[in-house]
Chain A
Amino acid sequence: MFRSMRAHKIAVAGLVVLAVTGVSACGSSGPQKSGGGSAKELQLWTLQNPGVNGVQQKAVDRFNKSSGAKLKLSTYVNDPYKVKLQTAVGSANAPDIFYNWGGGNLKGYVDAGQVADLTKALDAAPDVKAKFIPSVLDVGTVDGKVYGIPMQGVQPVSFFYNKVVFKKAGISEFPTTWSDFLTVVDKLKAAGVQPIALAGSQGWCELMYLEYFLDRIGGPEKFQAIVKNEKGAWTDPAVVESMGMVQDLVDRGAFGTNYAAVNYDNKGSQALLTSGKAAMELMGSWEVTSLNDAFPKFLTAGSLGWANFPAIKGGAGDPLDIVGNPSNFYSVSSRSSDVAAATKFLLQEMVSDEYVAGMISVGQVPAILGLEKKVKIGAFADFNAFVYQMGLTAPSFAQSWDQALPAALSQTMLTNIQQVFNKQMTPQEFADSMAAAAGS
């Protein structure tokens, strides 16, 4: 160690110099993350999803082989991914292609000038452009320009129910109107079953109810107004009425009493559904593959049913409207060292037959036109067909609000929604609080 005072002092000086150099190296952008070799290595960041990742890797391999590029796939888990992406985009470590949720989420990056405009490239490949479901491609479009290419399945939200429980309670089919729905809720309660399984510890699960209520009651324009942050959008009577309907369900005991402690990520709500303790769950289409992984016996026994969200009489919304994730998107970073190659990958592979077939085989329903027959295969044939129909015929496909709205507002919204569900906040207070937070 420090054999003498002098050596000691030199060591200290050295450390200080190192620190100062490190800090004051402004202007240098740091070394590029390049793998060895002549072709530039391009980074593709995406969410971790075992089945889907395999299909994506194959697409990457095909592309690398055919074009000599060096595209590399890296996967991340959801929450950490969002933090990583936010800090990396706009820095020297930005990925070349990154997974995002389109809509407001993508807009944030576009507004910061970090995303490459793909409109020209897409227009130059009309056969590619024509393949996407228009309403989905719209979600990857910001201010009229295309910034994101759909890369995953459509994921609308619908009701899932336990057929066995329904039968036992004497309910023959899933209700199509709201008044019938409430009758069913009462019947289930009488049969000693918790009508709805709700993962109330996670705001986004509760959000789905609000999304559908507002659409059914006020039509899709109400949420569009909120997205555009128009004055009075949050305090619209339709918003207050929607929250009122939520609290009505709570008061009826439709969600049981302990929903605030139930968690979706550890399968708490799914366990309720599959064990028969609860009869229904409102959830995105990923519910099926997820149930299949965790509770396979439930599916093989044919106990799972699915249905549209009921219509609300006198409401302005079309009963065929859906909410959820229109898709997920790949965008190209404007800082990428090879925007052309990255764009080529997307236009080539995202609509290729192999990619689409691969997606279908792992239970995804791609946002591509003309797949009616192709999706009706595999273990979830009927469900896939159901989802695809929904995606094609829905007059409006509203994006999940927590992806469509700016991040900070989203957080406030999720917290407030939880409080409404826990009867700590009245519907009017919710509307006022959101209006204040949105500054409208």
Chain B
Amino acid sequence: MSSRTQSSVQAGRPGFVWAAPAIVFFAVFALLPMFVVVYLSFTSYSAISDPVWIGVKNWRHLATDPLVGNSLRLSAGLTVLSWLVQTAIALPLGVYLAGKGRTRSVLAAVLFLPLLMSGAAIALLWSTLFDPNFGLASVVGPLIGVADGNFIGKPTLAFYCVLLVIAWQFIPFHTLLYQGATRAIPTSLYEAAMIDGAERFKQFTLITVPQLRDTIITSGVLMIVGSLTYFEIILILTGGGPGTATRILPLHMYITGFRGFDMGYASVLAVLLLAVGTSLSLLITKVTGYRKMSSQKEGL
């Protein structure tokens, strides 16, 4: 390009000021409070009186708290399994629903409903279903080897129930992401494959999935970071129980801070959550080159 064209293109680019309002707004309501939380982690605070500085005492407690290791393990497990289960269902489902056809349209609408419900509503609904004596669990249980319908009362099973309900709520969202992305894949790619005689499954694995790479990353980041901070359903469905079997880290933080009113230590857990979440999200985006603003459509 000639230097004249280059500079005129440059002049037409938006500068930082465009992003500034969003950044400032977000900083005031999300980042600034987070700094205050870091401060609170060095204090003893129960919300009814002012915070009292106690240095690293809360942080030392982190090392001796028997529940933290448990929470971390549960959170890690839930994150990984959620990602696997939700992607394994949402991706093929999204691709399937991307096809034209009225039945698929109606189907997509119905399958989207769970996302429209609030977490509290979903948890209330499922807790009636899980009642071991009068709910759906009492009927389905005996059919699949749980004779007394006791799903959310057994530690391991409760974990899987939680995994299921959260997946139930969020799969529609990720299905939508995949659905939209699939719709945008140019048919020219498929036409070429057809000519070569590739059948449906090969098309899926060799064309569709690679083209969805960016969406897999977006969806993955959202799932992973989301499962590190989300707990509304677990709070109402199992309360972290039985015992501590479903007490993932954000829930541990909530119970410590808002039931035990130990805000200082809860702030430590919050900082821990933030650290893990940001490292993960930065790591993923760096490793996959997500941040390079290149389009997958180049070359077409």
Kindly provide the distance from the CB of A409 to the nearest chain B CB, expressed in whole angstroms.
8
Kindly provide the distance from the CB of A348 to the nearest chain B CB, expressed in whole angstroms.
28
Interface flag for B79 (CB, 8 Å): no
Interface centre among A19, A201, A407, A424 (most CB of B within 10 A): A201
Kindly provide the distance from the CB of A439 to the nearest chain B CB, expressed in whole angstroms.
11
Report B-chain residues with C-beta under 8 Å of the C-beta of A422.
Answer: 153, 155, 242-243
Task: State the majority secondary structure of interface residues on A.
Answer: helix
Report B-chain residues with C-beta under 8 Å of the C-beta of A124.
Answer: none
A409 vs B255: C-alpha distance when bound (angstroms):
12
Per-position 1/0 for A31-53, Cβ under 8 A of B: 00000000000000000000000
Interface centre among A22, A112, A258, A272 (most CB of B within 10 A): A258
Q: Are B49 and A15 in contact (CB under 8 A)?
A: no
Interface flag for A89 (CB, 8 Å): yes
The interface stretch among B87-95, B128-136, B290-298 is: B128-136
Q: Are A90 and B17 in contact (CB under 8 A)?
A: no
Interface flag for B113 (CB, 8 Å): no
Residues 49-89 of B contacting A (Cβ, < 8 Å): 49
Residues 246-290 of A contacting B (Cβ, < 8 Å): 256-263, 266, 268, 271-272, 277
Task: State the majority secondary structure of interface residues on B.
Answer: loop
Residues 116-135 of B contacting A (Cβ, < 8 Å): 124, 127-128, 130-134
Q: Are B131 and A263 in contact (CB under 8 A)?
A: yes
A276 vs B154: C-alpha distance when bound (angstroms):
24
Cβ 8 A contact of A262, one of B17, B47, B133: B133
Residue of B nearest to A194 (CB): B133
A280 vs B146: C-alpha distance when bound (angstroms):
25
Q: Are B28 and A407 in contact (CB under 8 A)?
A: no
Are A90 and B48 CB-contacts (below 8 A) given A256-B148, A418-B243? yes
Kindly provide the distance from the CB of B62 to the nearest chain A CB, expressed in whole angstroms.
15
Residue of B nearest to A15 (CB): B24
Per-position 1/0 for A97-109, Cβ under 8 A of B: 0000000000011
Q: Are B133 and A113 in contact (CB under 8 A)?
A: no
Q: Are A83 and B258 in contact (CB under 8 A)?
A: yes
Report A-chain residues with C-beta under 8 Å of the C-beta of B239.
Answer: 201-202
Report B-chain residues with C-beta under 8 Å of the C-beta of A261.
Answer: 130-132, 137, 149-154
Q: Are B243 and A114 in contact (CB under 8 A)?
A: no
Interface flag for A125 (CB, 8 Å): no
A113 vs B48: C-alpha distance when bound (angstroms):
9
Are A266 and B17 CB-contacts (below 8 A) given A90-B49, A258-B148? no
Interface flag for B25 (CB, 8 Å): yes
Interface residues on B, range: 35 or more
A261 vs B130: C-alpha distance when bound (angstroms):
8
Residues 239-272 of B contacting A (Cβ, < 8 Å): 239-244, 255-256, 258-262
Kindly provide the distance from the CB of B120 to the nearest chain A CB, expressed in whole angstroms.
11
Residue of A nearest to B29 (CB): A19
Per-position 1/0 for A1-21, Cβ under 8 A of B: 000010011011001100100
A262 vs B260: C-alpha distance when bound (angstroms):
24
A31 vs B155: C-alpha distance when bound (angstroms):
49
Interface flag for A200 (CB, 8 Å): yes
Are A266 and B131 CB-contacts (below 8 A) given A83-B258, A202-B239, A408-B260? yes
Kindly provide the distance from the CB of A263 to the nearest chain B CB, expressed in whole angstroms.
6
Interface flag for B46 (CB, 8 Å): yes
A114 vs B27: C-alpha distance when bound (angstroms):
33
Report A-chain residues with C-beta under 8 Å of the C-beta of B149.
Answer: 258, 261
Report A-chain residues with C-beta under 8 Å of the C-beta of B49.
Answer: 90, 112-114
Q: Are A19 and B134 in contact (CB under 8 A)?
A: no
A51 vs B238: C-alpha distance when bound (angstroms):
29
Report A-chain residues with C-beta under 8 Å of the C-beta of B48.
Answer: 86, 89-90, 108-109, 112, 114
Cβ 8 A contact of A8, one of B17, B134, B255, B262: B17
Interface flag for B32 (CB, 8 Å): yes
Per-position 1/0 for A78-89, Cβ under 8 A of B: 000011001101
Q: Are B46 and A108 in contact (CB under 8 A)?
A: yes
Report A-chain residues with C-beta under 8 Å of the C-beta of B21.
Answer: 11-12, 15
Report B-chain residues with C-beta under 8 Å of the C-beta of A83.
Answer: 258
Q: Are B155 and A266 in contact (CB under 8 A)?
A: no
Interface flag for A403 (CB, 8 Å): no
Are A260 and B127 CB-contacts (below 8 A) given A15-B24, A89-B48, A407-B261? no
Kindly provide the distance from the CB of B58 to the nearest chain A CB, expressed in whole angstroms.
12
Report B-chain residues with C-beta under 8 Å of the C-beta of A260.
Answer: 150, 152-154, 241-242
Interface flag for B20 (CB, 8 Å): yes
Report A-chain residues with C-beta under 8 Å of the C-beta of B17.
Answer: 5, 8-9, 12
5 of the cross-chain contacts (CB-CB < 8 Å) are A15-B21, A86-B258, A262-B131, A411-B259, A418-B243
Beyond A15-B25, A261-B150, 19 extra complex contacts between A and B, CB < 8 Å? A5-B17, A86-B48, A87-B47, A108-B46, A201-B152, A201-B238, A203-B241, A260-B241, A260-B242, A261-B154, A263-B131, A266-B124, A266-B128, A407-B259, A407-B260, A411-B256, A411-B260, A424-B155, A425-B243
Binding site for A on B (CB under 8 A): 17-18, 20-21, 24-25, 27-28, 32, 46-49, 124, 127-128, 130-134, 137, 148-155, 238-244, 255-256, 258-262
